[in-house]
Structure 1
Amino acid sequence: MSESAMPLKGRVRLRRWAALGVPGVLATAALVVATAQGILAAQFTISGMPFTINADKIQATGMAQYGGLDNMHPDSPLHGDTGGQVAVFVTTMKNAEITNLCQAVAIGGTHLTITAGNKGTPAKATNLATDSDTLTGRTGTFNGLEMGRDAATLDKGFSQGPLGTFGMQADRIVLEDVYQHNWATTAGAMTLPNLKIAFSEAGCGN
């Protein structure tokens, strides 16, 4: 798999970012983020720095998907790039297994990468939610699929979307050779076997 090339808007001094940003990224790597009562990534203020996810396979039960808006702080230096809002589709999964996970965020001229689930034991997550503007895969298999349902009435996942908006859901999904361009991720709990956090010039393309 190869990471899609994304244009980099602005540059950040690596040392300054490492001092200020790495503790937050390490917390994200743990991904023990509260999602009680269906509170999703869209409910917190995003950094405005997107990140990518690559995986050989994602298989999950209890999937729901609907549209939303993510917001960043009005004083953020990246606010002007997007107008402070990003249109996303929120994908939620009750229980997910992720094989050969790689997450990368572009920082200046390098990437901070998080890898896990790549030695025979997949990463596992409960109540996982991703806020994305792109998702691709070589194949996608959906069991018990419902498309066009009012997002406020979704009942197969752990969350619901805004009333009167388009929603879809499925009992079970399997996605292969997955790429996501994300703005936020939350999980009730996540287990990351063989976790590695490192800087890489190639990101998830290596």
Structure 2
Amino acid sequence: MVPSVAATAAIGVALAQGALAASFSVSGQQFKVKVVKLEGRGFVQYGTLEAQHGGKRIPVAVSAFKNAKITGLCQSVVVPVPLFGDVSLKLKAGYGKDKVEAKNLFIDLDQLDADAVFKGINIGVAAGDTTKGPKNDTNKKDPGSFAQEADRADLENVEQTAWATSAGTFKLPGLSMSVSKGKSECF
């Protein structure tokens, strides 16, 4: 057990320092994300089908940012464990003086509530014709589907349910991760 705890700690430190790419998803299950403030540059959003474990596909909106600075990030998931009950995993970062930083951030979500301001926005673009977001998102796009893009997207008081989050780089200052019995969600 000691080597596995040490390895987990080392990976957590590497993620917090931005040394590793990061991906957060739970096979076939939604998780919640709450953000105090997200300042995004190079934004694109389009619809697609998310492939789940077992071949199930669900509709999602992909929100992608070339660069994002996040104040007050909380991600949580509750996993039901047979004969034990619910187990919650909660990750928090960016609540101190330093912000979470992400490059090539992709969020596959199906619900979003926020106060948003977009600058240089273009609504109704074909997904295959977007130019403002990250370049490595073509594998998820249906080229003819509806999309929108903006030079800048600033969101506050964000609450969303998502199926997957990934980033080329995810710097998590003040990272805190906890596992607890019962339901402990971000919102």
Q: Which category of TM-score, normalised to the shorter sequence, fits these structures? A: 0.7 to 0.9
| Cα distance change of structure 1 residues 203 and 73 upon mapping to structure 2, 3 Å threshold | closer
Whether 1:131 aligns to 2:114 is no
Whether 1:170 aligns to 2:150 is yes
Deviations 1:68-103 (A, max 9, x none): 1111232xxxx7xxxx11110111100001111000
Whether 1:49 aligns to 2:29 is yes
Where do 1:45-124 residues align within 5 Å?
A: 47-74=27-54, 84-108=56-80, 109-124=86-101
Percent of residue pairs bearing the same amino acid type: 35
Whether 1:142 aligns to 2:115 is no
Q: 1:155 aligns with which of 128, 131, 139?
A: 131
Aligned to 2:21: 33
Aligned to 2:83: none
Task: Supply the distance in 2 between the matched residues of 1:73 and 1:183 (Cα, whole angstroms).
Answer: 11
Q: 2:162 aligns with which of 138, 160, 182?
A: 182
Q: Which runs of 5+ in 1 are unaligned?
A: 1-18, 35-40
Q: Are the counterparts in 2 of residues 46 and 71 from structure 1 also a CA contact under 8 Å?
A: no
Q: Are the counterparts in 2 of residues 117 and 195 from structure 1 also a CA contact under 8 Å?
A: yes
Q: Which runs of 5+ in 2 are unaligned?
A: 81-85
Two-structure CA RMSD over aligned residues (Å): 2.4
Query: Per residue, is there more helix in 1 or in 2?
Result: 1
Query: TM-score under structure 2 normalisation?
Result: 0.79
- State the SS of the aligned residue for 2:108: strand
Task: Supply the distance in 1 between the matched residues of 2:170 and 2:53 (Cα, whole angstroms).
Answer: 27
Give the aligned residue type for 1:107.
V
Aligned to 2:186: 204
Query: TM-score under structure 1 normalisation?
Result: 0.72
Q: Are the counterparts in 1 of residues 37 and 157 from structure 2 also a CA contact under 8 Å?
A: yes
Aligned to 1:191: 171
Query: Per residue, is there more strand in 1 or in 2?
Result: 2
Q: Offset of 1:46 from its aligned partner?
A: 6.5
